[in-house]
């Protein structure tokens, strides 16, 4: 299927690892001009080189999207480089969870800044440029805990739930401008954080995945490229009548749609 995003400009935050990297690679492979943003310069350079080696167009910008000034610089450098922004993938984030009584105000604020305020600021900055061309796609990467929070799952489930509310509200406000806003709610996806957890437990990551997939109907962990395929679809003309939606990418685990 031709997704018809050749020449579109796509910004992917958290674009050097896991889902973000997979999204950047997929969008570049489909012909988009991709901007990847992350805090670490070495990984940015590495991923940019990887994308260019396959013929993709990419610009790497070092930025901490939890900071307002970096969000402003990220959008301004994207516009200065490509003259427009068509696709925004708000992916940056970590899975911060713990017992409610142990989470400090600083912990709450850091999670809101990284996940919610980054998406708010980048969307607010990108939307005027999308409106100029009467075309835009915003995809917010959240997780299934936003819909079905478990015990000891905060602050992540709270900030992600706010992201879902923002997705729906933006989709309704900017539909007249042909700016489509959707969310993908991920479940268990292969990631470095699971490898680090397995190492801390002194077990192979496969053993950890076996344990974590016990309640997943498909019986396996998801891959980052499987998320990227859905993100690319939502960013494309193929999804031209999809807005305000939240797609679960969880192997059937979530009990809610």
Instruction: Give the count of beta carbons closer than 10 Å to the beta carbon of residue 197.
Output: 15
On whether residue 153 sits in a domain, the answer given is: yes
User: Smallest Cα–Cα separation from 228: which of 20, 8, 28?
Assistant: 20
DSSP string, 175-244: GGGTEEEEEEEE-SB--HHHHHHHHHHTS-HHHHHHHHTTT-TT-S-B-HHHHHHHHHHHTSGGGTT--S
In total, how many domains does the chain have?
A: 1
**Residue 193: is its pLDDT beyond 80?**
no
Question: What DSSP line would sit under 131-175, residue for residue?
Answer: HHHT-EEEEEEEEGGGTSPPTT-EEHHHHHHHHHHHHHHHHHHSG
pLDDT, average across residues 61-90: 98
In angstroms and rounded to an integer, the radius of gyration of the C-alpha atoms of the chain is 18
Percent of the chain with pLDDT over 70: 100
Domain containing 229 — which CATH number?
3.40.50.720
Q: Does a structural domain hold residue 233?
A: yes
Tokens of 164: 């879902």
What confidence score (pLDDT) does residue 197 get? 81
Cα torsion 169, 170, 171, 175 to 10°: value is 120
Residue 2: predicted pLDDT: 82
The answer to the question of residue 112 being in a domain is yes
Closest CA to 7 of 23, 29, 31: 31
Structural domain includes residue 213: no
pLDDT at 192 over 80: no
Task: Retrieve residue 221's tokens.
Answer: 């962990």
In a domain, 211, yes or no: no
pLDDT, averaged across the chain: 95
Helix (H, G, I), strand (E, B) or coil at 15: coil
Q: What is the pLDDT at residue 198?
A: 83
Instruction: For residue 115, tell me if it sits in a domain.
Output: yes
- State both tokens at 25: 């690679």
Write the pLDDT tens digit of every residue in 106-140: 999 999 999 999 999 999 999 999 999 999 999 99
Q: Is residue 199 part of a domain?
A: no
Give the percent of the chain with pLDDT over 90: 86
Q: Max Cα separation, the chain?
A: 53
Where in the sequence is the domain holding 89, given as residue range(s)?
9-187+222-249
What is the pTM assigned to this prediction?
0.95
**Domain assignment present for 255:** no
- Residue with token string 């699971």: 194
40-50 pLDDT, tens digit each: 999 999 999 99
Q: How far apart are CA 209 and CA 93, in angstroms?
A: 21
């Amino acid at each position: 299927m031709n997704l018809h995003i050749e020449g579109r400009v796509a910004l992917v935050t958290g674009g050097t690892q896991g889902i973000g990297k997979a999204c950047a690679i997929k969008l570049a492979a489909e012909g988009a001009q991709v901007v990847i943003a992350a805090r670490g310069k070495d990984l940015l350079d590495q991923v940019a080189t990887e994308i260019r080696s396959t013929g993709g167009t990419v610009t790497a910008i070092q930025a901490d999207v939890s900071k307002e000034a970096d969000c402003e610089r990220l959008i301004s450098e994207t516009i200065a480089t490509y003259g427009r922004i068509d696709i925004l993938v708000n992916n940056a984030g970590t899975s911060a969870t713990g017992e409610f009584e142990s989470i400090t105000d600083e912990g709450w604020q850091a999670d809101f800044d990284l996940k919610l305020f980054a998406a708010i600021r980048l969307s607010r900055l990108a939307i005027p440029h999308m409106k100029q061309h009467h075309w835009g796609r915003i995809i917010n990467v959240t997780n299934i805990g936003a819909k079905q929070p478990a015990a000891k799952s905060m602050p992540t489930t709270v900030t992600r739930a706010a992201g879902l509310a923002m997705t729906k509200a933006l989709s309704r406000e900017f539909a007249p401008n042909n700016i489509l806003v959707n969310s993908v709610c991920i479940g268990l996806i292969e990631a470095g954080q699971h490898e680090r957890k397995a190492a801390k437990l002194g077990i192979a990551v496969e053993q950890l995945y076996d344990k974590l997939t016990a309640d997943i109907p498909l019986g396996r962990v998801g891959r980052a490229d499987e998320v990227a395929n859905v993100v690319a679809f939502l960013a494309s003309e193929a999804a031209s009548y999809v807005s305000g939606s939240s797609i679960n990418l969880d192997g059937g685990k979530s009990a809610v749609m």
